[in-house]
Structure 1
Amino acid sequence: MYPVYELSKDQAQNIIAIQESFLNDIKAKEIKPAKLSETISAFANAAGGDVYIGISENKADGGRSWDGFDDPEAANDVSHVLFQAHPFGNHLKFEFLKSADHHGYVLHITIKKVKEIVKSSSGDIYIRVNAGKQKIDTPEKLKRLELDKGIVTFENEWVEIPLKRLENSVSIINFLINVIPSGEPKTYLDNQDLLKENHARVSGILLFCDNPAVYLPKRCSIKIMRYRTKENDIGREFLEGTPLTVEGDAYNLIYSAVSATKEIVERIGKLGVVGLENIKYPDETLHEVITNAVLHRDYSIVSDIQIRVFDNRIEVESPGKLPGHVTPNNILDTQSARNPAVVRLINKFPNPPNKDVGEGLNTAFRAMELLRLKPPEILERDNSVLIIIKHESLGSPEELVMTYMDSHDEITNSIARDLTGIKSENIMKRVFLRLKSRNMLEPIPERKGAAAAWRKPL
């Protein structure tokens, strides 16, 4: 028997009004269980999600109403068919919702994202796209899904290449000197199953070719761009100079990209309590986020990693969705390596970039917290993962304003927005009004309009 939860009138109304999206769906109780299994397949093969069964829609006016099952047993066919299609059901959680203001029980199914491919009861495969589902009906679509979920990995593909590009590379020689001083490059590469006649695995090229971009163009470089703006809607008019392209084997690529990004960031000035001060992000955060992008990106996608440096944040965008069962919500608590050979072998390098395997992003989050900065934000897009490192303090806006006032006679709305990261003039004004209500600040009477400013009460 699945748990039953009583909802208030407002909570029930929120369920009725829920917006169908990539992560949410509603169904009438009359839906055929076999048809529902297609939706379950689509969610499990994408990012997971929630389905509410027992919400009817009026096609005439688009209205909705709560129209649940008469009792929990009336939904037995649903769970029976789903467990026939998915015997273990590790990705499914069932519960019933009821409300005194509405008739019947709504069945709420939570679907987890899982690494294996989940089929419908008919054996077909679906994936969630926007607020609908798409059938995986070609070998190409199935291969793309397998790559997205990390079932197969592009790092094992063979690429034609002159073998001396690996056997005589600076990378393999430096590696062996530090790891196996008496080792022979060809012997080591053969033992790691990275070579065959006139071919090398992608993982071998990434790690041991001095310039892998020659053989894997648009897959193994990093583009670094500087935008002189704080806005989200950006155009080329904000781009400063020419984007920097960083290349090299994966080990040097990480360290070079971190160094180049730090150099750009340290030239940015930000208004602080005592005037302009240099922006500083924790070294650990930049290192771990860029390492994560290089080691876990999807190398089957023809696109470089992008690092975008703004006045108030850094964005690191890595090609490919999160692998396996990993989601933005559980990424700090779980592991799923899309490129296990790259992760394993780069950890053997001296001073490996992934010293604590599996702890990288946790380290990045802790470093931001120690500097009293907001934690990184992780977003999964259609074909990439975006990590945003904001230069915004964990302190409340009121705290930041009053700290500023300890060493200044006045503060304007514009200065306060720079300090707090608040973009809206009206939202900032409400912060001032809250401080006024506590007799901590007052408006300067003679300063009106664009010149308006605030001071401590005289």
Structure 2
Amino acid sequence: MNIEVREITREEAELLVRFEETHFQDVKAIEIAPAKLSRTFSAFANTAAGDVYIGIDENVVGDVKQRSWRGFPDQEAANAIFQVLEGLAPASPFWSASFLTCADFPGQVLHLSIHKTRVVTTSTEGKAYIRRGAQNIPVTSEEGMRALNFDKGIVSFEDEIINAPKDLISNSATVIEFLIEQVPTAEPETWLRSQLILLDDRPTVAGALLFADQPQAMLPKRSAVKVFRYQTIEEGVNREVLAFDPLTIEGPIYDLIEKSVTATKEIVEGIKKIGGGGLEEISFPDETLHEIVTNAILHRDYSIATDAQIRIYDDRVEVESPGTLPGHITIRNILDEQFARNPKLVRLINKFPNPPNKDVGEGLNTAFNAMRRIRLKDPEIVQKENSVVVYIRHTRLSSPAQIVMEYLDTHGTITNQVGREITGIRRDVQMKDVFVALRREGALELVEGKRGKASAWRKVKK
């Protein structure tokens, strides 16, 4: 086996040694038993992928962790680890490797990138693990394994049968209106059975979401969309800054997507933001809002009893979809790879007139490209423990310093708060650093007589 060897600098090595163990990265000493290490491999492969660095010692002195670099004396010393990796999934490689060396430290540290797998990956003891924070948690219950299978898209909750009468979808206004447009036409019950969304005279989850006039009555707390409007740019806020009571949007999924996008656009269009020319309306491309909301509703995990959420702030929109990314999809490959957690929903909604997912598999790319065309920063996708959040920020691609100077072309002074509002910077300390850097360049000066929160900056008169 030919593994790449890469030499890194002392600074890089010291950063590596100080790595915090997180949901996405772990460090181990070279003495770690390969069988025990396989639990980490299983957890990363089943959850969100991650990186493991083997060759970092960790000792606890008092309450303080102390780490040091002590790598393998040679590559052959790591052979047992590679044998374990090969045995876990011989037919589908789910890892890549390199050895790291540093002239100032002994041995070679093995860096393993563990990729998310399409199937459930078990440790050498036959148990499946998931990653939660910096821990590898064994999946020991039947319910836990079922949830993992839903999460990875091996089975889909959309195929679960609901204990409800068939008439709720076979005789609904939604299905009758839909079938009028179909060629060839068919009787509702016959067609629903042919699509396997009416089974044993009962609707499946996909059938209810698509064709029940009110799916929320059959699937409470997991089939609506909640819309919140917070009058702030701050994070971690409470109900005191809500502009109005949260909206609850309901209806069959085709209508749900359209109504959610429309409500979001209407609220966003009423927001004013300080810009170079004073108060100006903020706006996002229609394609961006449409594609991200569509994606959140179609690809969410319906086994989780939580509604999708759209949170609208003064400078951004956050769209939260219950469930982690399905199958082998990760934050890194989401724009390049495809995997449908709910394939029936994706396929059948595409049969509706003017379907919300016209460009199947290209929705997020469309959303990103639309932001780039008007020089707004790319949306940010973050995977949390039980959900995926997309942050759509109204932040220009211009540098913060350039934005500040353009603002001062039409305004006499600027404060830290205004600076954060127009640049999208979250913390006042970071904003102050921008002002200080511009002062060092001789571009800005502090306004005399203003202190604390009232401190202001102005251009230096030439």
Could you say whether these structures have the same fold, taking a TM-score greater than 0.5 normalized by the shorter chain as the test?
yes
What is the alpha-carbon distance in structure 2 between the residues aligned to residue 192 and residue 280 of structure 1?
40
Tell me: CA distance 1:55–1:432, structure 2 relative to 1, closer, same or farther (3 Å). closer
Tell me the SS of whatever aligns to 2:162: strand
Q: How does 1:212-361 map to 2 (within 5 A)?
A: 212-361=215-364
What is the alpha-carbon distance in structure 1 between the residues aligned to residue 80 and residue 433 of structure 2?
53
What does residue 189 of structure 2 align with? 186
Alpha-carbon distance, 1:91 to partner:
0.6
Q: Which amino acid aligns with 2:7?
A: E
Q: Is the 8 A contact 1:224 1:244 kept in 2?
A: yes
Alpha-carbon distance, 1:276 to partner:
1.3
What is the alpha-carbon distance in structure 1 between the residues aligned to residue 199 and residue 54 of structure 2?
54
Alpha-carbon distance, 1:259 to partner:
0.6
Q: Is the 8 A contact 1:160 1:198 kept in 2?
A: no
Q: Is the 8 A contact 2:444 2:457 kept in 1?
A: no
Q: Is the 8 A contact 2:295 2:363 kept in 1?
A: yes
1:195 to 198, 211, 219: 198
Q: Which amino acid aligns with 2:36?
A: K
Residues 348-374 of structure 1: CA deviation (Å, up to 9, x unaligned): 111000000011111111111112211
What is the alpha-carbon distance in structure 2 between the residues aligned to residue 56 and residue 401 of structure 1?
46
Residues 241-271 of structure 1: CA deviation (Å, up to 9, x unaligned): 2111110111000000111111111111111
What does residue 5 of structure 1 align with? 6
Q: Is the 8 A contact 1:268 1:279 kept in 2?
A: yes
What does residue 25 of structure 2 align with? 24
Alpha-carbon distance, 1:376 to partner:
0.9
What does residue 211 of structure 1 align with? 214
1:382 aligns with 2:385: yes
Identity, % of aligned pairs?
50
Compute the TM-score of the two structures, normalised by the length of structure 2.
0.95
What does residue 53 of structure 1 align with? 54
What does residue 455 of structure 1 align with? 459
Tell me: CA distance 1:144–1:350, structure 2 relative to 1, closer, same or farther (3 Å). same
What does residue 39 of structure 2 align with? 38
What is the alpha-carbon distance in structure 1 between the residues aligned to residue 115 and residue 222 of structure 2?
30
What does residue 72 of structure 2 align with? 69
Q: Is the 8 A contact 2:447 2:455 kept in 1?
A: no
Alpha-carbon distance, 1:110 to partner:
1.0
Tell me: CA distance 1:182–1:152, structure 2 relative to 1, closer, same or farther (3 Å). closer
What is the alpha-carbon distance in structure 1 between the residues aligned to residue 109 and residue 374 of structure 2?
46
Tell me the SS of whatever aligns to 1:401: helix
Q: Which amino acid aligns with 2:130?
A: I
What does residue 422 of structure 1 align with? 425
What is the alpha-carbon distance in structure 2 between the residues aligned to residue 167 and residue 423 of structure 1?
51
Alpha-carbon distance, 1:430 to partner:
3.1
What is the alpha-carbon distance in structure 2 between the residues aligned to residue 312 and residue 45 of structure 1?
35
Residues 133-162 of structure 1: CA deviation (Å, up to 9, x unaligned): 111122111101111111110000111222
Q: How does 1:127-142 map to 2 (within 5 A)?
A: 127-142=130-145
Q: Is the 8 A contact 1:411 1:455 kept in 2?
A: no
Alpha-carbon distance, 1:74 to partner:
1.4
Q: Which amino acid aligns with 1:395?
A: S
Q: Is the 8 A contact 2:257 2:293 kept in 1?
A: yes
Alpha-carbon distance, 1:60 to partner:
4.1
Compute the TM-score of the two structures, normalised by the length of structure 1.
0.95
Q: What stretches of structure 1 of length at least 5 have no aligned partner?
A: none
What is the alpha-carbon distance in structure 2 between the residues aligned to residue 66 and residue 208 of structure 1?
60
What is the alpha-carbon distance in structure 1 between the residues aligned to residue 342 and residue 147 of structure 2?
15
What does residue 87 of structure 1 align with? 90
What is the alpha-carbon distance in structure 2 between the residues aligned to residue 241 and residue 367 of structure 1?
30
Tell me: CA distance 1:407–1:115, structure 2 relative to 1, closer, same or farther (3 Å). same
Alpha-carbon distance, 1:425 to partner:
3.5
What is the alpha-carbon distance in structure 1 between the residues aligned to residue 86 and residue 200 of structure 2?
48
Q: Is the 8 A contact 2:316 2:392 kept in 1?
A: yes
Moved more, 339-348 or 260-269: 260-269
Residues 214-253 of structure 1: CA deviation (Å, up to 9, x unaligned): 1111111001111111110211111122111110111000
Q: Is the 8 A contact 2:175 2:188 kept in 1?
A: yes
What is the alpha-carbon distance in structure 2 between the residues aligned to residue 431 and residue 60 of structure 1?
40
Q: Which amino acid aligns with 1:52?
A: Y
Tell me: CA distance 1:357–1:235, structure 2 relative to 1, closer, same or farther (3 Å). same
Alpha-carbon distance, 1:442 to partner:
3.9
Residues 82-122 of structure 1: CA deviation (Å, up to 9, x unaligned): 21232135111121111111221111111001111111122
What does residue 435 of structure 1 align with? 438
> What is the root-mean-square deviation of aligned Cα atoms in Å?
1.8
Tell me: CA distance 1:97–1:253, structure 2 relative to 1, closer, same or farther (3 Å). same
Tell me: CA distance 1:414–1:33, structure 2 relative to 1, closer, same or farther (3 Å). closer
Alpha-carbon distance, 1:180 to partner:
2.5
Alpha-carbon distance, 1:439 to partner:
4.0
1:155 to 150, 158, 169: 158
What is the alpha-carbon distance in structure 1 between the residues aligned to residue 15 and residue 438 of structure 2?
34
What is the alpha-carbon distance in structure 1 between the residues aligned to residue 97 and residue 277 of structure 2?
55
What is the alpha-carbon distance in structure 2 between the residues aligned to residue 233 and residue 215 of structure 1?
32
Tell me: CA distance 1:205–1:235, structure 2 relative to 1, closer, same or farther (3 Å). same
What is the alpha-carbon distance in structure 1 between the residues aligned to residue 84 and residue 174 of structure 2?
55
Moved more, 38-47 or 189-198: 189-198
What is the alpha-carbon distance in structure 2 between the residues aligned to residue 5 and residue 182 of structure 1?
63
What does residue 103 of structure 1 align with? 106
Alpha-carbon distance, 1:285 to partner:
0.8
1:372 aligns with 2:393: no
Q: Is the 8 A contact 2:158 2:206 kept in 1?
A: yes
